[in-house]
Amino acid sequence: MQEQLLLQLVNLVQNLSEDMQWMKQEIQTMKQEMHELKTKVHKQEEDIHWLKEQMKENTAMIKAIRDNQLEQRSLQDAMRHEIAHIRGEMATKQDIAYIHERLDYQLGRIARAEEELHMLKKAN
């Protein structure tokens, strides 16, 4: 009877030892998974940081383009007034050619600014 109890006790201890070993392996696996998760979260935090920096830079560029666009529109309005004034004074062909040349230049600048604005919006 004592031998049987001793044998049961030994079996119980072996089972406990196996369970402990299994638990250690599970804990190790969980530690590895936690480390992987921490690494992924850290990488995402870095990515978010750089995205925020890029957004700040893009916002500054968009503001600069908008300011330039407003300036170009203002110049265009001034040129329209100048054209109206010149037409009232019977402008020469040279005057009209000069005004058209300036207007084409300004329209080109506006188109480039609008294209840059479109590309920045598209990038975001």
State the pLDDT at residue 95.
Answer: 76
Summary mean pLDDT of the chain: 88
Rounded Cα–Cα distance for residues 57 and 10 (Å): 70
Q: Is 72 exposed, middle or buried (0-12, 13-18, 19+ CB in 10 A)?
A: buried
Rounded Cα–Cα distance for residues 117 and 113 (Å): 6
Q: What is the mean pLDDT of residues 55-60?
A: 92
Whole-structure pTM value: 0.46
State the pLDDT at residue 24.
Answer: 95
Max CA separation in the chain (angstroms): 130
- The answer to whether 120 touches 60, Cβ cutoff 8 Å, is no
- The answer to whether 61 touches 120, Cβ cutoff 8 Å, is yes
Q: Judge: domain 55-124, CATH 1.10.287.
A: yes
The highest-confidence range among 47-51, 68-72, 94-98, 120-124, by mean pLDDT, is 47-51
